[in-house]
Structure 1
Amino acid sequence: MDFFREDTLYFGFSLGQWFSLVMVVVAGYMFWTKYRGDWGKVWKYA
């Protein structure tokens, strides 16, 4: 548990959390643009 960490927070997130959020957003954007036609197959079998 890290209740007493003293990371500098930027708008409520630490720097590592911001990088993680950016990676998720970029991955979602890439999947949306490159594989847009395949999303129908994903939802069909889900």
Structure 2
Amino acid sequence: METWQIIAIVVAVFGVVIGNLMLLKHAAKMDFKVPKSDDNEDKKSPDE
């Protein structure tokens, strides 16, 4: 294997790892909103 191929593989691996860490950090800041559950709709029969 040539040197430039090894360097390209190492750069690609570091790119994937750093990208995943940045995505994880960004996802930790997100607010996941829970939708309001309407109890009346859950109790309706299928005929209504």
What TM-score, normalized by structure 1, do the two folds share? 0.48
TM-score (norm 2): 0.46
**Bigger relative contact order, structure 1 or 2 (CA pairs below 8 A, ≥6 apart):** 1
Greater Rg by CA: 2
